[in-house]
Structure 1
């Protein structure tokens, strides 16, 4: 049941179009194994030399954290918003025995790469994996279609968290759960965006949007979702990410400022979950 339907490309911000299109962020060696996330490093000994095996483990473990938070059970249907190359979709199929996994991304180039990267799975599991094009704020999917909606390190790009929350609530079945992993500011202090822009190029150029984590939790509540929970996992993200970045960048260079921003209390990494009422 592969979905090769070609839709008009939804509006996307130019910096997102470039970064995930011609820029091909996922092609950088910092994102080993085809994943594009900072990783969850709890199971990795950061005092030992890091190799690609440990890096891939960290990225897989971030998905495992999110899928566990979503409470995904065998035989259920799951949507990943911002699926990238579909590596998380493949892990979900491999380890969680869902009935169906849908990977959705706004960028047609990412979907092309996903279909290439997962070509074998698409042939082997045509009824259980599909990729569709759509924006987080305007999902081309049916009401109540999914038991779980997940998003791993994509929400920092979403221009409208309120619209995303409304769409997640719409496509979830009653009792379904949404789980989002991303980085947000720790509060709504008005200087936070400027502070992060001074430290990190991705905030300066607008790729990442500085918003408080409460903006997402309140958006979920406003969309009628309940049992909203916010969990900080930064202690298991930022030190490992910085340790991995040290292979390419020296202290004081802008990529190393992710850890600095976290240690300075400007932002953190969170898993945010909510449930659609029955």
Structure 2
């Protein structure tokens, strides 16, 4: 893997560098509370006006849903791949009692995470840390973690096979992985072009169009077992679109996430897998 333009650490694709560095995506109002995900809206009443409290709840609930699929015991060692500002790491630590390592490829994101959680890092140095690393090259020991999770970051990973291999390597025997993210529903050849027409994030290359099977196959090829993909789109896309309506009119490109779901092109999944004992 090449070095970044700044000469330190793994390479970051330019569009990712801009979006999460100078662009500071997590600081935008649509990502209330510093989380950077579309949210899991099952517990939110979408018929009522939505405020930041409901938005933050949706993002926290996405982490809760993912963590519940892993079911970590108190004290479990958890790696989050693509931790962003570290807000999900705090949910894992405080609500699930985990010892959490947040890993991100972007140094500016890590700087922001360390600043946002400086007090907690001082209070809980054995239970919270942030490290720089790529999904395809994790700076972690073999079998170091009881669980590996990634929430809405896999759409940026250039090599799902390498990510899966690294996940299998750093999981202990009996450990579990859970990845939440959006993928095409199948591998029809026209899917990337369809998404590029509908969604600017795919047209720019920020988001990479791959079928969910690309990840499930990668996990299986890496030797993981009980691999499954569960759609949670009905609890993601309508709520996300309802929230976006505060800023964007119908038929503007951000609103096309719901359209892509309704047209059977894109969906949101939680993919899980176990490392055999």
TM-score range, shorter chain: over 0.9
Equivalent residues in 2 for 1:114-129 (5 A)? Answer: 114-129=113-128
Q: State the 1:148 CA deviation.
A: 0.2
SS in 1 for 2:272: strand
Equivalent residues in 2 for 1:198-277 (5 A)? Answer: 198-277=197-276
Q: What is the distance in 2 between the residues matched to 1:153 and 1:118?
A: 21
Q: Which moved more, 1:122-131 or 1:178-187?
A: 122-131
Q: What is the distance in 2 between the residues matched to 1:227 and 1:195?
A: 31
Q: What is the distance in 1 between the residues matched to 2:103 and 2:76?
A: 17
Equivalent residues in 2 for 1:94-243 (5 A)? Answer: 94-98=94-98, 100-243=99-242
Whether 1:18 aligns to 2:18 is yes
SS in 2 for 1:131: strand
Q: State the 1:69 CA deviation.
A: 1.0
Whether 1:88 aligns to 2:88 is yes
Q: What is the distance in 2 between the residues matched to 1:247 and 1:231?
A: 29
Equivalent in the alignment of 1:3: none
User: Is the 8 Å Cα contact of residues 71 and 177 (structure 1) preserved in structure 2?
Assistant: no
Whether 1:29 aligns to 2:33 is no
Q: What is the distance in 1 between the residues matched to 2:156 and 2:192?
A: 14
Could you report, residue by residue, the CA deviation over 1:197-250 in whole angstroms, capped at 9, with x for unpaired residues? Answer: 000000000000000000000000000000001100000000000000000000
Count of residues paired in the alignment: 271
User: Is the 8 Å Cα contact of residues 89 and 102 (structure 1) preserved in structure 2?
Assistant: yes
Give ranges in structure 1 of 5+ residues lacking alignment.
1-6
Q: What is the distance in 2 between the residues matched to 1:169 and 1:9?
A: 22
User: Is the 8 Å Cα contact of residues 81 and 150 (structure 1) preserved in structure 2?
Assistant: yes
Q: State the 1:48 CA deviation.
A: 0.3
Pairwise CA RMSD of aligned residues?
0.7
User: Is the 8 Å Cα contact of residues 156 and 182 (structure 1) preserved in structure 2?
Assistant: yes
Equivalent in the alignment of 1:4: none
Q: What is the distance in 2 between the residues matched to 1:276 and 1:74?
A: 20
SS in 2 for 1:83: coil
Q: Which runs of 4+ in 1 moved over 4 A?
A: none
User: Is the 8 Å Cα contact of residues 230 and 271 (structure 1) preserved in structure 2?
Assistant: yes
Give ranges in structure 2 of 5+ residues lacking alignment.
1-6
Could you report, residue by residue, the CA deviation over 1:90-142 in whole angstroms, capped at 9, with x for unpaired residues? Answer: 011110012x2000000000000000111111011111110000000000100
SS in 1 for 2:264: coil
TM-score (norm 1): 0.97
